[in-house]
Structure 1
């Protein structure tokens, strides 16, 4: 009886393995070489490369904002308003990168080596701690100004006299630059308000400012 049970168990095991092998072979994804017309793809390499660089810049900004949010979330710092603000900024920068990737895909570009954009050492934050929320906001303003200038450079590259990519230039100018300028003005206003509070109330001023950030009052 014991021998019969062992034989049944062995047969069942072999059956399961055979089924698994057969199923995996059946489900194996194989891609044939598909020949798709490429006449519709009209972006120039210098413009595509510039856009890839901008995607890295957006991801780099996102990582820097993540570092800011993490710093102000620490128990020894504990400024949840600043943490919330910077984490939200990180999400916005990631969305910008996703938008640029989606745009390139729409134009028939960036169909390979996408993962290289998120493996770059350029994405490592250049700074991970700040003496105050005011200093962090000033760094954020510098960061946004840098991203804005990089976008302007992409526009300039893609406005090349030999091939002006009107659609991309209009997309970056209308959507991205407008948002960048609004964002810069918002941060500049926060810096101004916080400096006045600190001049009048000292450390208490930044504490009150943090609470307003947390409650969405600024």
Structure 2
């Protein structure tokens, strides 16, 4: 009777594992792809190498307000940052002037509630413009620096034009002045070559153009009604419009 040898555990462990073979052509393609990585768009991205200088510049920096901003990009230039801070101050100054006008027309000796409400809303709009620029500054990693606000005039009566016509002409002139200042800010921002900053200022310029047109319309209408009873009728209609606008 023929004896059959049975392999033990040690023999089984010594048996080599048979792996499925990979086609030679596929191996050559993979090797070629690793050796030659073609850049189609011309843009390469090496994340660890590119952030190394940034991390090195912020190493050991204290926490809090003195810490370098991680949100700030190299296109956000100091000149643009300074121009935005200047525009914030301009918006606050115009807001302060409009607030003073609102207080004037709310006096019992003047009593034009329509324009008191109109200039109050105009003051809030200018403050909103300032807040938008503050948000932009903080979003882009800048530092907001609030400057002093000039004390506004408190009397707006004029011997020939009256108070309302005079105030509305002043307001129209300030709107155009704000537009010019915003243009200057846009020029400083545009030199940075940052499309996001440029678009942001351009949107504000569009809003300012609309405000200028509205202010100019009021000046023309007030010139027609003069300084008599037409002023009361004009103010009464404006008050109703302002109340409806506030309700919506």
Q: Give the TM-score band, short-chain normalised.
A: 0.7 to 0.9
Structure 1 residue runs of 4 or more that deviate by more than 2 Å after TM superposition? 32-42
Find the partner of 1:190 among 203, 218, 221. Answer: 218
Q: In angstroms, what is the RMSD of aligned CA positions?
A: 2.0
* Alignment of 1:138 onto 2:169: yes
Q: Which has the larger radius of gyration?
A: 2
Q: Which residue of 2 aligns with 1:167?
A: 196
* Alignment of 1:154 onto 2:179: no
Please, what TM-score do these two structures have when normalized by structure 1?
0.74
Higher relative contact order (CA 8 A, sep 6+): 1
Q: Residues 39 and 97 from structure 1, CA distance in 2 versus in 1: closer, same or farther, beyond 3 angstroms?
A: closer
Q: How many residues in Structure 1 have an aligned counterpart in Structure 2? A: 174
**CA offsets, 1:118-163, max 9 Å, x none?**
x51x3321x2211111110100001111110000001111222xx3
Relative to total residues, which structure has the larger helix share, 1 or 2? 1
Contact 1:61 1:93 in 2 (8 A): yes
Q: Which residue of 1 aligns with 2:114?
A: 81
SS of equivalent residue, structure 1 residue 123: coil
Please, what TM-score do these two structures have when normalized by structure 2?
0.66
* Alignment of 1:216 onto 2:216: no
1:37 CA drift (Å)? 6.6
Q: Supply the distance in 1 between the matched residues of 2:63 and 2:220 (Cα, whole angstroms).
A: 59
Q: Supply the distance in 1 between the matched residues of 2:142 and 2:68 (Cα, whole angstroms).
A: 13
Of the structure 1 ranges 54-63 and 37-46, higher mean CA displacement relative to structure 2 is found in 37-46
1:33 CA drift (Å)? 2.5
Q: Which residue of 2 aligns with 1:204?
A: 229
Contact 1:59 1:123 in 2 (8 A): no
Mind listing any 5+ residue stretches in structure 2 that lack a counterpart?
1-61, 158-162
